[in-house]
Amino acid sequence: MESVPIGQANAEMVIDLDAIDRNVRTLCRVAGDAAVMAVVKADGYNHGATRIAATAVAAGAREIGVATLSEALELRDSGIEAPIMFWLSGPGDDFAAAIARDCEIAVTSERHLDAVCAAARSAGRPATISIKVDTGLNRNGFCPRDYRALLTRIRCVKDAGLIRVRGIFSHLACADDPNCSITETQRSRFLNALETASAHGITPEVTHIANSAAALTRPDLHFQMVRAGIALYGLSPVATAAQLVPAMTLQARVVLVKDIAAGEGVSYGHMWTALHDTTIALLPIGYADGLPRALSGKFSVLIGHKRYPSVGRICMDQVVVDVGQHSGVREGDVAVLFGNGRHGESRAQDWAETLDTIHYEIVTGPRGRVRRRFIGGASTTTAGQAQNA
């Protein structure tokens, strides 16, 4: 995606819905007979959950996954009718609302099961649940030592009409590392968990353990469904030949162009000094907007068809770029900080490597005064201009 004329915001995330559509279709092909659950937690990995969910369903995703009940209810309010599952519940969650809005509840503990059953009794209708099994990630989910006893309880409340057991699932710890043996251990534990459930008279409608990495590289882990998170947004957690297209471009308007003389320092601490007379451009984005301060002096931006280095320390509200003399850069020009890389701009992956982190953290970072705008798909360029990051 090329840089597009910036809207009224000085800095914005441009979300390409055509890229989301293409990524979902790619994931559906990779998944084969397995369904694709589009994971849109954390406001769609900061891409805009409601628009991403609608685009994903239209492109072939059968289900939607989120972390929290509030995220699930927001999607229902936006008109998403596909099955929605949420898996991170707190003690105060309103499970009655989840039942009323037909949101699937991932049950992860005995206390959790009790609260869901109480809500089902009050609602007078069964709760739809999935059983989360801990196969080695050691976050939430039923522990192996408690699993058989809890299956007995689940069978009882199921037979009493309080719950509908729709799924059994787990989550992988090391699927992005093809050489890690824990994935095989988790696969074995998951198969055992399914066999144990069957022995207790519990046959789920759907089973799933594959995240994006396993969806792309491990067909033996697809089961009935794969959960596509980061890959949905065009970022791969593994080295893969799948044709994924990054959907987010971060860009800012040049608000000032000025000449400085050789020997002049730039920004706080003068960590950079001009070696010769040059011209600098000022971008109105800083660490308060999610631009990592640790990236100071370590990235470049694309203005027109040329990359220019950032110089000096990233400030709360702004960053400086050395555009050199006679560059033709003018106030109002668009500077692309990262995008899909097809026009020579940096990618989120490049920033992640520079900062020794992961691209998940990069794309979920922009915030505050950075606005979100959608292009492509059924959107118009004005559809997201008033939506905050």
Residue 327 sits at φ, ψ, to 5 deg, of -80, -25
| CATH number for the segment(s) 17-232 | 3.20.20.10
Domains 17-232 and 248-375 share a fold: no
pLDDT at 300: 97
Residue 130 to residue 116: CA distance in whole angstroms:
12
Residue 339 sits at φ, ψ, to 5 deg, of -160, -145
Domain locations in the chain as residue ranges: 17-232, 248-375
User: CB-based burial of residue 388 (10 Å sphere; 0-12 exposed, 13-18 middle, 19+ buried)?
Assistant: exposed
- Whole-model pTM? 0.92
Residue 153 to residue 196: CA distance in whole angstroms:
14
pLDDT at 91: 76
Is 139 annotated for ligand binding? yes
Buried b (16+ CB within 10 A) or exposed e, 241-258: ebebbbbbbbbbbbbebe
CB 108 within 8 A of CB 139: no
Mean pLDDT per 10-residue segment, the chain (389 residues): 58 97 96 97 98 97 97 97 95 92 95 95 96 93 90 94 96 91 95 96 95 95 97 90 90 96 96 96 97 97 96 97 93 96 94 96 96 82 38
Helix, strand, coil % in the chain, rounded to nearest 5:
35, 25, 40
Cite the active site residues. Answer: 41, 268
Is 1 annotated for ligand binding? no
| CATH number for the segment(s) 248-375 | 2.40.37.10
